[in-house]
Amino acid sequence: MFEIKIVQYFNRIGSRKFDNFLALINSIRFLAIFWVAIIIIAIIKHPEITNSFLVAVGIVTILHFGITEGIIKHLLLYIIPKRKRPYVAYPDLIKSIGKKFSDSSFPSSHMASTVAMLFVVIAFYPSLLLLSVIFVLIMAFSRLHSGMHYPTDIIAGILLGLVYGRTALYALRFLF
């Protein structure tokens, strides 16, 4: 019940403009455009790292969709029940903001993919560390605020993202 109190607290913060901004940050379309833009900018600004950067991004993508989306969020549901999102489990306490996702809330796919991608970006562009941390914090806040995740979903997503990013960089050592 402690987790729902945290979600409830974050869910109450904001205004219409703030909610609209966070709904944009949460949208899959925004994230897809954001990642493609980062990849294009990296290729244009530093063509000498294009191959290794794209391979790392590809590994992160395969790991994320294979493990988080494939195994954890779909295959494991045959063994353990899905975790209802806070706005579904507690409709009287939590209002959903933005798109209403209906899959399992555990782990946060948004956090896993965001942390994994930014882990790779930071490895190639260390000067982007502060901006990356700020973006991760905004994403974590927005997932709680929108009523889509519990804090443990966010933490699990962050940990998975760190593992995916680190694995991708480790694999680069053998490939290049």
Q: Is 121:128 a contact under the CB 8 Å cutoff?
A: yes
- Stated pTM of the model: 0.92
- Look at residues 2, 3, 21 and name the one whose alpha carbon lies nearest to residue 146: 21
pLDDT value at position 82?
A: 87
Give the pLDDT confidence of 64-87 residue by residue, as tens digits: 999 999 999 888 878 888 899 999
Q: How far is CA 96 from the centre of its chain?
A: 18
Task: For residues 139 and 123, give the distance between their C-alpha atoms in angstroms, rounded to a whole number.
Answer: 20
Can you say whether residue 83 is alpha, beta or left, with left for phi > 0 and alpha for psi between -120 and 50 degrees? beta
> Over the chain, what is the mean pLDDT?
92
Q: What angle do CA 147, 107, 17 make, to 5 degrees?
A: 30
Give the pLDDT confidence of 108-136 residue by residue, as tens digits: 999 999 999 999 999 999 999 999 999 99
> Around Cβ 130, how many Cβ atoms within 10 Å?
9
Helical H runs in the chain?
2-12, 16-26, 28-45, 50-63, 86-89, 109-124, 129-145, 151-175
Q: What angle do CA 27, 137, 81 make, to 5 degrees?
A: 60
